[in-house]
Amino acid sequence: MSARKSAGFTLLEVMVALTILAVALAALVKSGSDHARNTIYLQERAMAHWAGENLLAEYQSGMRPAAVGDLTGDTEMGPYRFGYKAQISDYTATSPFPLPAVRRIDIRLWLLPGDETGQRAIVSGFVLP
């Protein structure tokens, strides 16, 4: 009687290996997808912040009038178009010595087409009236 040795994997072993491989590949694809989505979101936020800084610089340089109230509009930065709302209010700082009156500017930016619920950045600053 001769004993014959099996020189391969059983069907069950192959199925377990394929299942492990499928789970690992699915996790890898999800991880790559999440990374791509986060990268795009961070790029949108960075561009929105830069667009807000540009708007604030226009107010600070006098290119835009800093009248008290709410202003809305849109602006572009890179490949993105953002809607913005600039809230301008009088601001008085509390200090032991007199300071000049200033205006506070808060600029909220969101990706267009869309509304403020998709806000990407807030930029704040001060200007002399």
Contact (CB, 8 A) for 54 and 68: no
From 3-7, 37-41, 96-100, 116-120, the region with the lowest mean pLDDT: 3-7
In percent, the amount of the chain with pLDDT more than 70 equals 95
Shortest CA distance to 129 belongs to which of 99, 107, 109?
99
The secondary structure element, H or E, covering residue 84 is strand 80-91
Domain layout of the chain by residue ranges:
11-127
At residue 6 the predicted structure's pLDDT band, cuts being 50, 70 and 90, is low
At residue 31 the predicted structure's pLDDT band, cuts being 50, 70 and 90, is very high
Selecting from 3.40.50.1110, 3.30.1300.30, 3.40.50.970, 3.40.50.300, what CATH number does the domain 11-127 have? Answer: 3.30.1300.30
* Residue listed under structure tokens 């913005």: 84
Confidence at residue 94, expressed as pLDDT on a 0 to 100 scale: 83
Confidence at residue 101, expressed as pLDDT on a 0 to 100 scale: 86
At residue 2 the predicted structure's pLDDT band, cuts being 50, 70 and 90, is low
For residues 98-117, average pLDDT: 92
